[in-house]
Amino acid sequence: MTEWVSSPKMADRHPEWMDILCTSLRSETWSDTLNPIVQKILNNVQLEEEDGVALFNEPNLFELGKLALFHKQAMFGEKAYFNSNVHINQTNICVLACRFCAFRRGPKADDAYALTIENYLEELAKFSPYVNEVHSVGGLHPEWTVEHYCQLFQRIRSEHPHISIKALTAVEVKHLAQLSNLSIKETLVQLKNAGLTSLPGGGAEILDDEVRAVICNGKESSQEYIDIHQSAHEIGLPSNCTMLFGTIESTLQRVQHMLKLRDLASQTHGFQCFVPYPFLPDSTRLPMAQLSTGQEILRVIAVSRILLDSIPHIKAYRMNIGDELAELALQFGADDIDGTVQQESIMHLAGSTAPLSHDLKQLSKLVKSAGCVPVKRNTIYTEFEAYVPPEPIKRLPMA
């Protein structure tokens, strides 16, 4: 099977993977509720809003999962991807106060912090021999302009040239542009020239301004999120995209969110990966949140895989959903489990108990136990390498 990358070849129901998918679909009998959707796929008709809602309401989770798995297998065979990465959150000081956020602090809080460039590089140096990506997002610092980030990225690239920089959410980009008195595009150009490799896609939450007004008042609007990612794609900066579910959104709003992302991906081919993750409530201020069950998390992964035919990869973000569900999600349409991560604050402060400091061997064990083949990838999904775990050390029998 081809190593699919984020490219036009992947997008919009490319005949190569659609042929494989249709053969699989025809080999099964489908329930009355899923059959109309399967028929649309077989006839190369793109799924729409009502189909997305029907998928969410499908009573048989396992049949929904099978439909998603067929999509994943048509695109990637049995492969499942991960990388060696580390998360460094540069600051928790933020001028906003989103109600779902357990991470941000006001500048005067006892545990507020802002890593200087030297502090950041010291932190990165501890992990540098083991990783090829640093993932950095943080609060909206009231003073750091684009110049601060350009200096940081230049230093990372010159001192750790093997490390890709996946950094800054859309709202961070907007904030930097405003503080620096630059357009969004000029901000992104400067960051890219300084070494930024891709945008991680965080901050999409739910792309509906009524929901945003409640859960993240003051953040970028839905359209601004789309526009910022479009600008990134236009200058050759790929990005991921996300969805935070289980707060106050409806099923329809989830579907509309996905379709907005699918439409932009069809236009720019710049989204590499969709990362849906459920709201975690600890230390947040959203008592009215619905919260998500395990079956709902698997359902969201499955629906994403089926609906988002122009976004190549679907990530089971184990930092949020934990290793056990991430493993199951590989059977429900996900093809990626992120990376080694090493350290993480944002999800853990909100209640995640996902283990940290996983090495590649443990990740490959997780992938294999889901029946998949472990493949290491780079940040932008252009380099792949089958992961073969090292042989266990054989101990000599005691004399």
- Which of 56, 70, 103, 274 touches ligand SF4 by CB under 6 A? 103
Dist. CA 278–CA 394, nearest whole Å: 42
**Residues constituting the chain:** 399
- Which of 34, 115, 140, 301 touches ligand SF4 by CB under 6 A? 140
Q: In the complex with ligand SF4, which residue's Cβ is closer, 119 or 217?
A: 217
Q: In the complex with ligand SF4, which residue's Cβ is closer, 140 or 163?
A: 140
Residue 52 DSSP SS3: helix
Residues 198-227 close enough to bind ligand SF4 by CB under 6 A: 216, 219
Q: In the complex with ligand SF4, which residue's Cβ is closer, 86 or 94?
A: 94
Least distance CB 352 / ligand SF4 (angstroms):
15
* Residue appearing with tokens 């093809």: 335
- Which of 11, 69, 101, 265 touches ligand SF4 by CB under 6 A? 101
Per-residue burial over 129-164, b if 16 or more Cβ lie within 10 Å, else e, is eebbbbbbbbbbbeebbbebbbebbebbbeebeebb
Show Cβ contacts of residue 145 under 8 Å, excluding neighbours closer than 6 positions. Answer: 176, 179, 180
Residues 29-68 close enough to bind ligand SF4 by CB under 6 A: none
Contact pattern for ligand SF4 over residues 280 through 309, marking x by CB under 6 A: ------------------------------
Contact 49, 252 (CB under 8 A): yes
In terms of DSSP bridges, do strands 384-386 and 373-377 run parallel, antiparallel, or are they unpaired?
antiparallel
Number of shown-chain residues binding ligand SF4 (CB under 6 A): 12
Q: In the complex with ligand SF4, which residue's Cβ is closer, 173 or 264?
A: 173
Q: In the complex with ligand SF4, which residue's Cβ is closer, 37 or 114?
A: 114
Structure tokens at 20: 């494989």
Least distance CB 94 / ligand SF4 (angstroms):
3
Residues 243-282 close enough to bind ligand SF4 by CB under 6 A: none
From 96-104, 120-128, 221-229, 296-304, span contacting ligand SF4 (CB under 6 A): 96-104
Question: Which residue from 297, 304, 296, 302 is spatially nearest to 274, judged by alpha carbons?
Answer: 304
Least distance CB 102 / ligand SF4 (angstroms):
8
Contact 347, 137 (CB under 8 A): no
Q: In the complex with ligand SF4, which residue's Cβ is closer, 159 or 282?
A: 282
* Residue appearing with tokens 């081809």: 2
Determine which helix (DSSP H) or strand (DSSP E) holds 16, and give its type and residue range: helix 15-26
Report if residue 96 touches ligand SF4, rule: CB under 6 A. yes
Structure tokens at 191: 């960051």
Dist. CA 346–CA 351, nearest whole Å: 9
3-state secondary structure 271-307: EEEEEEEECCCCCCCCCCCCCCCHHHHHHHHHHHHHH
Least distance CB 245 / ligand SF4 (angstroms):
15
From 97-105, 153-161, 263-271, 360-368, span contacting ligand SF4 (CB under 6 A): 97-105
Contact footprint for ligand SF4 (CB under 6 A)? 94, 96-98, 101, 103-104, 139-140, 171, 216, 219
